[in-house]
Homo-oligomer: A and B are copies of this chain.
Amino acid sequence: MLTIGTLAKKTGTKVQTIRYYEQIGLMPEPGRTEGGQRRYGDAELDRLSFVRHARQLGFSLDAIRELLDLSDHPDKSCAEADAIARRQLKQVEQRLARLEALRTELKRMVRECSGGQTSDCRVLEVLRDHSECLTEHQDIGA
């Protein structure tokens, strides 16, 4: 049986994050010692590893909830899991495209800055006048 601290170390998670996942129902309520401390088994270790790995791949907690549910029902069709992954891939690709446009624009700003006074700073000038931008960057690049 693992303490919450050991589980945290094994999965690269903070203790508070594990308690948070329990609170929002992503992790089950574990057994407790007589004194009220949480104790975890292998099933919980696997589940938390799954969650953390999916987070590292950028899945939202809601998406992870769905994936966990699918994982709990081996008889269900794989199509749903596939759809969730494809959706995530699409999001990643959209963000990549946005970030690439940002990089282009930022690079240009930095390159053109000649290092004088702010009165004729290219960086500030470009920020002041959107029409100087060559690329589109409508959405905020989160």
The smallest C-beta distance from A57 to any residue of chain B, in angstroms, reads 6
Copies in the complex: 2
Cα–Cα distance between A110 and B85 once the two chains are bound (Å):
7
Chain B CB within 8 A of A128 CB: yes
Are B81 and A123 in contact (CB-based, < 8 A)? yes
Are B50 and A127 in contact (CB-based, < 8 A)? yes
B46, B58, B130: which contacts A140 (Cβ < 8 A)? B58
Given the interface contacts A58-B141, A118-B73, does A103 sit within 8 Å of B82 by beta carbon? Answer: no
Chain B residue at minimal CB-CB distance from A100: B96
Chain B residue at minimal CB-CB distance from A130: B53
Cα–Cα distance between A28 and B78 once the two chains are bound (Å):
54
Name the interface size band of chain A.
Answer: 35 or more
Are B106 and A56 in contact (CB-based, < 8 A)? no
Chain B CB within 8 A of A102 CB: yes
Are B128 and A46 in contact (CB-based, < 8 A)? yes
Are A53 and B141 in contact (CB-based, < 8 A)? no
Chain B CB within 8 A of A15 CB: no
The smallest C-beta distance from A12 to any residue of chain B, in angstroms, reads 8
* Interface residues in A122-142 (C-beta closer than 8 Å to B): 123-124, 127-128, 130, 137-142
Are B53 and A116 in contact (CB-based, < 8 A)? no
